[in-house]
Structure 1
Amino acid sequence: MDFTNPLVYGVPCFIAFILLELTYSKTHGHDELYVWKDLMASGAMGIGSAILGPLLKVTVLIVVFEFTYELFNPIVDGVRTNIMGYKSFGYAWYVWLLCQLADDFTYYWFHRANHEIRILWAAHIVHHSSDNFNLGTAVRNGWFTLLYKPFFYMWMPAIGFPVEMVIVCLAIESLWQFQLHSQYVPKMGWIEKIFNTHTMHQVHHSQNVEYLDKNHGGFLNIFDKIFGTWKELDDDIEVKFGVIHAPNSYNPIVILTHEFKDIWADVKKAKKFSHKLMYIFGPPGWSPDGSTLTVKQQQRLFREHKSQNPEAAFSRPN
């Protein structure tokens, strides 16, 4: 069995858990958890990813990883040796653990880049575009991220991790991410100190200003804590899921492309070349005149407003 394509081989499990959560929500008075049109849109994009995934895995991921591995780890005197002079990694159990840790570190920066670089956000916003947070949302993945994700991970085969090991670790990461998209799992005590959990991922999918661009981690939360993007779910804050500038459509094509369309509109109206570049590669919400705000600008205003009016509700800027 090929373990390197979890979206395909995990499909029966994904469907089973989605149906289980759906049934539980409808039989326990949580009708708002699943919206049928929204679930169908998520399912359509999940099916598209399942179809495109195997094709791109061969043409992009494996080719890129194999080329990188062979280039940086040639066989010297019959031994696979990294160009930095040490023997390339084998398959010892501790190497697997190191590879999984390296994968999680890479996932953190890949995920964070998707939120902080607008052209990447245009591909990733698909996953955040639903106003619902459930296991159906977990399969609501953008198709374009499949094109560039492997390039974030090239350093791993370059330093000597075997290609198949890297791909299996990517698969494990994907499986962990799927199950995080449930509201039925409460806070988990000491586990929360180490792992990225369901409540932490609710923060990540929130459009509340104080929660924006938080908790990018994969299965660990250590990198969020180290790099200042970790935030715990506050039971006193009512979470609003989704994105501020939503596509307002259940059409999969609109959901997949609406942010690219907005980028193009901004680029066309920009008078300076530097502004055009910022609209593409700058943070989402950037504008030269402050007519739209980045997440950091919104959060700075939020903190200022809260310090001046601690009891007042904050009106989110557009």
Structure 2
Amino acid sequence: MPLPDPVTFAIPAFVLLIIMEVILGRFFPRKSNYETRDSAASLAMGLGNFAIGLINLGIVASVSHWVYQYRFFDIGYHWYAFVLIFFAEDFCYYWFHRLSHEHRIWWAAHINHHSSQYYNLSTALRQTWTGGLAGTWVPWLLLSILGFPTALIAFQQGINLVYQFWIHTECIQKMWRPFEYIFNTPSHHRVHHAINPQYLDANYAGTLIIWDRMFGTFVPEDDAEPCRYGIVKQIASFNPIVIALHEWAGLFKDILSARSLKSFWMYIFGPPGWSPDGSRLTSKQIKEKDAAIKIKRAGARAT
């Protein structure tokens, strides 16, 4: 059953909303902050992702169809299939996203999305060029083996991607509390993009924030702790090629320097920031160090 591509239909809305946000920023700079070179880099990343995606599409679809042959159920395209896929695909997205932050080989493919030090709608376009090669599409094969048709999976992936566009903004503050409790919002996603220690590795949601609440990765935005954006070790470049490949270059450099099998393994599959001598810090270590400093400061004030 042929289904439309939601992203293609949404592109005019993407362009219009970005223009509106840029205009808003002229009058309210605190709500919309754009930098021409940064936005151009994000646009180039988006175009590159689209072009490479067309190449990857055939491979991923072929694997998905092959897995679908061994499905547990015949879900088909009944009305309830669209309800089930909404939750099932978002569940897969949560785990893909979380694993992409917890394991360096997938982080190398995902880091470009976090590389901008600006947070606006153009940042949503800063998509991966290497995710297909790294196999970040594997979690969605779970849906194929369950019995969801490939076209339906692709359709819902598009819906999820379109939804996430509008949450890349500082124009919208916290929303209606019940909506904030269930759905991913700009407030929740600002936390995800922030490099403040207390915000690291949190809010992996696609559409539904309930997965973060269920699996202990939810962190609310604190008005007393404004979000700072980018990556822990910022890159001083607006070159799309550098943005897309700089972490891969670092990964291969570390692999070549590995002096043990453990180091070789951890450089690839360990958490980003891992090093055998502790000269670099993982997100967990950064958070622990920050928490220790805050406790020490609180103790000093108490005395």
Pairwise TM-score range, normalised by the shorter structure: over 0.9
Distance 1:31 1:234 in 2: 17
Structure 2 unaligned segments of length 5 or more: list them. Answer: none
Q: 1:197 to 1:311 in 2, by over 3 A?
A: farther
SS at 1:301 equivalent:
helix
Structure 2 counterpart of 1:175, from 162, 182, 186: 162
Would you say 1:105 and 2:71 are equivalent positions?
A: no
Would you say 1:143 and 2:142 are equivalent positions?
A: no
Q: In the alignment, is the contact (CA less than 8 A) between 1:181 and 1:202 conserved in 2?
A: yes
SS at 2:298 equivalent:
coil
Matched to 1:121, the amino acid is: W
Q: Write the deviation string for residues 182-205 of structure 1: whole angstroms up to 9, x where unpaired.
A: 111121122111111110000000
Q: In the alignment, is the contact (CA less than 8 A) between 1:4 and 1:171 conserved in 2?
A: no
Distance 2:32 2:179 in 1: 29
Distance 1:302 1:111 in 2: 24
Q: 1:217 to 1:23 in 2, by over 3 A?
A: same
Paired residues, number: 299
Query: Which residue in 2 is equivalent to 1:67?
Result: 66
Q: In the alignment, is the contact (CA less than 8 A) between 2:115 and 2:230 conserved in 1?
A: yes
Distance 2:259 2:132 in 1: 32
Q: Write the deviation string for residues 228-285 of structure 1: whole angstroms up to 9, x where unpaired.
A: 1100000000211111112210000011111111112222222112102211111001
Query: Which residue in 2 is equivalent to 1:38?
Result: 38
Q: Following superposition of structure 1 onto structure 2, how do residues 124-273 of structure 1 map, counting pairs within 5 Å? A: 124-147=110-133, 148-188=135-175, 189-273=177-261
Q: In the alignment, is the contact (CA less than 8 A) between 1:107 and 1:218 conserved in 2?
A: yes
Q: In the alignment, is the contact (CA less than 8 A) between 2:119 and 2:229 conserved in 1?
A: yes
Q: 1:28 to 1:301 in 2, by over 3 A?
A: closer
Distance 1:135 1:301 in 2: 32
Query: Which residue in 1 is equivalent to 2:274?
Result: 286
Q: In the alignment, is the contact (CA less than 8 A) between 2:32 and 2:171 conserved in 1?
A: no
Query: Which residue in 2 is equivalent to 1:77?
Result: none
* 1:152 CA displacement: 1.3
* 1:16 CA displacement: 1.5
Distance 1:2 1:56 in 2: 19
Distance 1:30 1:252 in 2: 26
SS at 1:242 equivalent:
coil
The TM-score normalised by the length of structure 2 is 0.93
Q: In the alignment, is the contact (CA less than 8 A) between 1:5 and 1:54 conserved in 2?
A: no
Query: Which residue in 2 is equivalent to 1:275?
Result: 263
Structure 1 counterpart of 2:80, from 94, 113, 122: 94
Query: Which residue in 1 is equivalent to 2:53?
Result: 53
Q: In the alignment, is the contact (CA less than 8 A) between 1:65 and 1:154 conserved in 2?
A: yes
Q: In the alignment, is the contact (CA less than 8 A) between 1:283 and 1:294 conserved in 2?
A: yes
Distance 1:50 1:295 in 2: 30
Distance 1:103 1:292 in 2: 35
Query: Which residue in 1 is equivalent to 2:103?
Result: 117
SS at 2:21 equivalent:
helix
Q: Write the deviation string for residues 98-157 of structure 1: whole angstroms up to 9, x where unpaired.
A: 111111110000000110111111110000000000000000011111342332101111
Structure 1 unaligned segments of length 5 or more: list them. Answer: 74-81, 313-318
Q: 1:214 to 1:4 in 2, by over 3 A?
A: farther
